[in-house]
Amino acid sequence: MRGRRMIVIALAVVLLATPGAGAREETTLRVLSFNVHAGTGVDGTFDLVRTAEAIRATGADVVGLQEVDVHWSERSRYTDQAAELARLTGMRVFFAPIYDLDPEPGHGQRRRYGVAVLSRHPIVAAVNHQLTRLPTVNPDPVPELAPGFAEVVVSVRGEPVHVYVTHLDHRPDPAVRATQVREMVAVLDRAPPGARQVLTGDLNAEPDAPELAPLFARVTDAWRAAPGAGEGRTYPASAPASRIDYVTFSGPLRATHASVPATTASDHRPVLAELTEPQ
């Protein structure tokens, strides 16, 4: 896709554990998807420390974040939320802006808004892919390619895992979401055959929505695959009625557990999934 740019962040691969001779230990990856609502909770209060505490409480190894502000506006105190959440959680971060706008008067830094990945494991490469969008910052938007579909490669016990974060169009008309799904699947298909892939995101649609069918033909919904997962509703956080937030995967991974941690740190509840690779 045009505009695709791979940023090599580190070349060293860190071995996080040494398996016994002739055998490899089972790898478990705790993955969280969390629309953080720019750090504002159900009570309407901006509190990024509370957001970070909700993330830490899950014990997640990798986190896909949506609705992340970086020097965006007074609503988030012009904070670099990606960097601050990385600091507060002790994790590495990659931020993928959807919007990158001129500074507001009196503020010297560019206004950016998008998605991010937090990771306890080394991030060895990252790219901000484009998807078709109807920009919410334009009064009369038309569909156009714009960034904000993050992909990072993390090194887990020396093995690469491709992690993606997305935030699909919120409008009732599914046409833009359907296009975005096709474009995401095309990006997923660029990975090497059999690659470990984890896609997290706010898809703004229920699992049986027709526009999501091509995606679920390509990846597995961790909530449906994990035993005893329940209903998985995440929105609104005060009384969840919709399942629109997801952890999905493909490759040699399998889901062993999924849950919706209770928190009011955002207008969404997060989704947590435990993924393992049988040895």
Tens-place pLDDT, residues 67-95 = 999 999 989 899 999 999 999 999 999 99
Q: Which one has a higher pLDDT value, 5 or 213?
A: 213
Whether the predicted pLDDT of 10 surpasses 60: no
Residue 7's pLDDT is what?
A: 41
C-alpha R_g of the chain: 18
Q: What pLDDT band is residue 24 in, cutting at 50, 70 and 90?
A: low
Residue 16's pLDDT is what?
A: 32
∠ CA 49-54-58 to the nearest 5 degrees? 140
Compute the average pLDDT of residues 91-111: 94
Tens-place pLDDT, residues 219-244 = 999 999 998 778 999 999 999 999 99
The CATH code that applies to domain 28-277 is: 3.60.10.10
- pLDDT, mean over the chain: 91
Residue 247's pLDDT is what?
A: 99
Q: How many CA atoms lie less than 13 Å away from 4 in the CB half-sphere? A: 11
Residue 219's pLDDT is what?
A: 99
159-167 β-sheet, strand order = 6-8, 123-133, 144-156, 159-167, 196-202, 245-250, 220-221
Q: What pLDDT band is residue 25 in, cutting at 50, 70 and 90?
A: low
Residue 230's pLDDT is what?
A: 85
Q: What pLDDT band is residue 189 in, cutting at 50, 70 and 90?
A: very high
Q: Which residues contact 122 (CB under 8 A, 6 or more apart)?
A: 10, 12, 13, 14, 92, 154, 155
Compute the average pLDDT of residues 190-209: 98
Residue 22's pLDDT is what?
A: 45
